[in-house]
Amino acid sequence: MNHLTALVKRDLKLAYRLGGGAGTAIGFFLVVVTLLPLGIGPDSALLSRISAGAIWIALLLSVLLSVDRIFQADHEDGSLELMLLGPVSLEMIVVSKTFAHWLTTGLPLAVTAPLFGVLLNIEPGAIGPLVLSTLIGSPALSFLGALGGAITLGVRRGGLLLSLLILPLYVPVLIFGVSAASASGAGPDISTPSLLVLSALSLATLVLCPLAAAAAIRSHFR
């Protein structure tokens, strides 16, 4: 656990010093949510109906903006290869680095989502389900992004390839995330079917994605 904690702290410090973490993601999130009402028009009823979907799409794109850097920087400076020789298994390294990415990107976006929802005339009753769905679903976005980052490791300008690989996997998370966030009448209830399925997706990515990402990284260094 000491090694894993050290890895998480290291990635948090690098994200803070080098930038490109929460600030970039929140800035991109704000741009998308701000431009959307300008493009649709001043119809407050329409904005209220699409607010949950718009926020989830903005969240997805903001996370996708930074997932290629989960392993790429360590691969370029040789740190990733040294980690493979250390006492921590590669699967746990993937978990720690993805968790650090979620702390610097997914968690800030999930916390600030209701504030941006005000720009889309979100209903007050939908704020609770929106916060709960983004908190539960955003880890799945980071772990799926880590899988794509591991597959495209070492590929020059692999951002487009990463997007093509990961976006289809994001679709189930997006569908159930929007469905859970749209349940304004139910309140923030974890027992709703959409939230249960979203929780299952996040747990499945937590278990399966580190295994697949570690296998992809090992194949790269063979």
pLDDT in tens, 124-161: 788 888 888 999 999 999 999 999 988 888 777 667 78
Where residue 174 falls among pLDDT bands split at 50, 70, 90?
very high
198 vs 33 pLDDT, higher one: 198
Taking each continuous run of H as one helix and of E as one strand, the counts in the chain are 10, 0
pLDDT confidence of residue 14: 76
Where does the pLDDT of residue 18 fall: very low under 50, low under 70, confident under 90, or very high at 90 and above?
A: low
Mean local confidence (pLDDT), 37-66: 83
Q: What is the residue-averaged pLDDT of the chain?
A: 83
Distance CA 54, CA 186 (A): 20
Instruction: Give the lowest-confidence range in 12-21, 88-97, 190-199.
Output: 12-21
- Please indicate whether residue 166 or residue 78 has the higher confidence score (pLDDT): 166
Question: How many angstroms separate the CA atoms of 126 and 178, rounded?
Answer: 11
Q: Average pLDDT for residues 180-207, to the nearest whole number?
A: 78
Does position 222 have pLDDT exceeding 90, yes or no?
Answer: no
Count the helix, strand and coil residues of the chain and give each as a percent rounded to the nearest 5: 80, 0, 20
Single pTM value for the model: 0.87
Q: Contact at 8 Å (CB) between 33 and 55? A: yes
- Checking if the pLDDT of 201 tops 70, the result is yes
Two tokens, residue 50: 């699409």
- Better-scored residue on pLDDT, 204 or 194: 204
